[in-house]
Amino acid sequence: MSRGQIDRRTFMKVSGGVLAAGIAPSLSAEASLSEQPPYSVKWYPFTGHPDSDTCWSLSVGPDGRIYAAACAEGVPGGVVKPVRYNEQRDDLDYLFNLAEKVDDPGDSGRASQCKIHYSFAPSMHDGVLYMATHLSGPPIDLPVYSPWYSWHDAKRCFRGSALLAYDTRADQVLWWDTLIPKEGCRCLLHDEERGLLYAMSYPRDHFIIYDLRTRSRRDIGRISSINPQALFLDKRHRVWTSSDYGHLVRYTPETDRLEISPGLLAHDLNYQTGWHSVFYDVAPSPDGECVYASTWCPNPRLMRIWPDQGEWPRVEDLGPATQPRDTSFPIDMYRDHCGGLAFAGDGKLYYVASRWRDPKYNPTPESRKQNEGVVWRLDPETLKRQEVALLEHPTGLAHYVSRGAVDHNGDLFFGHVGNRPSGIFKVSMPADRKRKNAHLPIRMWG
Amino acid sequence: MQTKSRFDPDSPEIKAYLDELAHQFVREGTMVAFPTCLPGMTTPITHDESRITALDINSKGHVYGGTSGRQAHVFGAAFHGLTGIVLDAGAVAGSTSTAAVCCGASRVIAFVNGPQGGRAMALPYLHLAEDWIQEWGLEPPVLDELGECVSGEAVVHAAGVLSGKTVVGVTTRHLFTVDVESGRITVVGEAPGQGHLATGRAAVFGQEDPTRLWRFDIASGKIHRAAIRLPDGEWTSPLRWTRDQNTGLLFTADAAGRLFSFDENQSFRFLGKAHLSPVGPMAVVPDGRLFGFCGTEMANLFCCDTVSGKVANLGVAASVLERRRYGYQFGDAVTGPSGEIVFGEEDNGGHLWLYFPRIAASAHS
């Protein structure tokens, strides 16, 4: 991620007063790495797409294999290439140039089809993996792109998020459509029983429904300004996300309404208001009764949310995911980050939180890296968490994980942002903590 | 590498482009998005019932407005002294849009539409004084239903005459008046309703067809159909108007974004062209500058110097003071008592946007 991209994504950062939120028990009993069974870590760079600078999407496909997006958003005219982990070769397969598949090549002069942003969604009955593109990559002859500035510019404006259906059984693109004209798709969800895709548009933050049977789109309207980074589905087919000010947002198909919760999601009561406490990542509990979520906010919080408990869900604040810091000075959410939430075959929640050297709060020696990506293992029963691995990149960064997933062999994979070429990490699970088909029941959103 | 950059990063064109990007939001002045509540003390109007489509302002500088969405609401607002409140006067049962809100001499008349057609509601002026939350609070206001304006027809727009005693409204086919004090509704006769009405010194104007305006003479109460020819332009979209309170000049725009002034005793004068169309809500500040939004989906603020006709693009609305928000779509605008403009945001979770224009340089400086 370039400096400029960080600036765009963190536009309008602020902190303010204090508002109410839920309880905030601290996550406890952190164990040291040496006490844990070995979790071996391996880095897979996108060498087949050297322009790639980010990997915003990593999901398990309907076939149980790992798919990731080799995104190139810092390159004028850059395009995204979906990749798949090949367990026989222990390497990556580059599936296709998405821009070519959707007739919107990188040299079009428009903002390019540069990335897939939390927008893989599986379809189990037919083995299709849906994917939708996002924007930010500049036109080939401009250094940067702004969707606000170029909204009315037919020559420059992003053509729109391309929705693509990829048949993982036949390894072919079945069809594509424009999901959201002029806008990117921040995150995607599939309600397979109802044949509907749900998406959040960027930059206008509209809630979009796409009917797969009729291949038609409905715009349900705006939520707020800062995009939530995740949608999730409950057992009643309601779709959930969050608003700028840290409220839950619920779409109920029966009423066709977007509703805003009265309460706020978890945030630090000492100095935050709930503003920007939008979802970053949400993982379903294997039993389908609750979800675990992290926020896209400095000092991201972990939460457990029970959608079916009460008129509005019960939200448990599981505390901060990252270290204390000097709150009198802003910190960017590239350094202070938590993502990659995924349940593994051992029934535990895994996620990656950043950790960084800080003279007061984490005075690590110079022999350690300035920024570290820590793989945590959270026990849902006790809410105790254990540090089980550090992500290691041979030369570059390893602390910003976008998404995580477990494949059909039970191993963990994490998409990473910040190196060039970008890539993914594989974290091999200890034998006694993995099982076949650990990816099921599958997560239906990116 | 798959792609190669095709530009010179040091070229004047690229530097100019980057400079433009650095000023894509509110290039002049300051915008403040104010939620539809008493912040921290009450909840805003429901998310999908808060698209602000109508505004007016009374002689005390208090703003009244109405929303559209799942239900229409009527509200009052004040931003000066120790006020700082948008007070929701309530949802109007059976209504989904507010066509107009008019501040009369003694009370507010709001026009809402729903499945049953257009109705008029009266709201007493709210005591929008100071320190709402202290011990001497207020009773919830009561909306008084005045009835259907024209049977089975939706209200398109309405505007108060300058005396404050009468409101003139138009449905899709008829012109009507409302006596502010008594609430009596009178159907005057046939006149098409297309877009907004404009209040002049002696008459109210509305669009007859793509080439002409009708004129309603306030003193005689008569409609003069097709009375005024529109200037050359593309008059195919519903009209928007605003009025300079100092000069009495009216301002409007055609579908291509051409801006015109209109002196009801003389004629139209072409001023300049907004960079996007259609032109949405506009308002004139005391020094004569005309501000408004133009463009669909993601409107841009513009400023027109009504003397020179020069039009400037002021970018996309963004609020960074207290409430952080982008503004994309706006429904109406009024000029506040200190020369600020209040824009009503026509979007889910709509806010009132206070715009404080840049102070124009003094002729002596």
Here the CATH number for the domain that contains residue B64 is 2.130.10.10
Residue B173 lies in a domain: yes
Burial bucket for residue B212 (CB in 10 Å: 0-12, 13-18, 19+): middle
Phi, psi of A33 (to 5 degrees): -60, -35
What pLDDT is attached to residue A326?
A: 96
∠B54-B55-B57 over CA atoms, to 5°? 160
What pLDDT is attached to residue A25?
A: 40
Q: Which among B24, B300, B348 has CB closest to A146?
A: B24
* pLDDT band at residue B362 under the 50/70/90 scheme: confident
- Rounded to an integer, what distance in angstroms lies between the CA atom of residue B83 and that of residue A316? 37
Residue B10 lies in a domain: no
Domain extent at residue B230:
23-356
- Rounded to an integer, what distance in angstroms lies between the CA atom of residue B337 and that of residue A226? 33
Amino acid symbol at A387:
E
Both tokens of A210, joined, read: 């796409």
Beta carbons of A144 and B18 less than 8 Å apart: yes
Average pLDDT score over chain B: 95
pLDDT tens series, chain A, 446 aa = 333 333 333 322 222 222 223 333 444 445 555 566 799 999 999 999 999 999 999 999 999 999 999 999 999 999 999 999 999 999 999 999 999 999 999 999 999 999 999 999 999 999 999 999 999 999 999 999 999 999 999 999 999 999 999 999 999 999 999 999 999 999 999 999 999 999 999 999 999 999 999 999 999 999 999 999 999 999 999 999 999 999 999 999 999 999 999 999 999 999 999 999 999 999 999 999 999 999 999 999 999 999 999 999 999 999 999 999 999 999 999 999 999 999 999 999 999 999 999 999 999 999 999 999 999 999 999 999 999 999 999 999 999 999 999 999 999 999 999 999 999 999 999 999 999 999 999 999 99
Beta carbons of A12 and B17 less than 8 Å apart: no
Residue B321 lies in a domain: yes
Number of domains making up chain B: 1
Tokens 């958003």 sit on residue: A73
Q: Give this prediction's pTM.
A: 0.94
Tell me which chain A residues have a C-beta less than 8 angstroms from the C-beta of B7. 76, 141-143
- Tens of pLDDT, residues B295-312: 999 999 999 999 999 999
Phi, psi of B13 (to 5 degrees): -65, -45
Residue A433: which region, alpha, beta or left (left: phi > 0; alpha: psi -120 to 50)? alpha
Residue B18 lies in a domain: no
Residue A79: which region, alpha, beta or left (left: phi > 0; alpha: psi -120 to 50)? beta
Burial bucket for residue B57 (CB in 10 Å: 0-12, 13-18, 19+): buried
Residue B231 lies in a domain: yes
Phi, psi of B120 (to 5 degrees): -105, 140
Residue B177 lies in a domain: yes
Beta carbons of B21 and A151 less than 8 Å apart: no
What pLDDT is attached to residue A7?
A: 36
Tokens 């009729």 sit on residue: A214
Q: Which among B1, B9, B47 has CB closest to A143?
A: B9
Distance from the B258 Cα atom to the nearest Cα atom in chain A, whole angstroms: 17
Contact A79, A72 (CB under 8 A): yes
Burial bucket for residue A194 (CB in 10 Å: 0-12, 13-18, 19+): middle
∠B1-B7-B10 over CA atoms, to 5°? 120
Beta carbons of B24 and A149 less than 8 Å apart: yes
Q: Which among B14, B47, B316 has CB closest to A148?
A: B316
Tell me which chain A residues have a C-beta less than 8 angstroms from the C-beta of B48. 221, 257-259
Considering chain B, what percentage of its residues have pLDDT values greater than 90? 91
pLDDT greater than 70 at residue B247: yes
Residue A224 or B135, more confident: A224
Residue B148 lies in a domain: yes
Residue B278 lies in a domain: yes
Contact B38, B132 (CB under 8 A): yes
Closest CA to A130 of A194, A170, A173, A182: A173
* pLDDT band at residue B266 under the 50/70/90 scheme: confident
Residue B190's CB is within 10 A of a number of other CB atoms, namely 11
- CB distance from A42 to chain B under 8 Å? no
pLDDT greater than 80 at residue B261: yes
Both tokens of A259, joined, read: 């509703």
What pLDDT is attached to residue A21?
A: 30
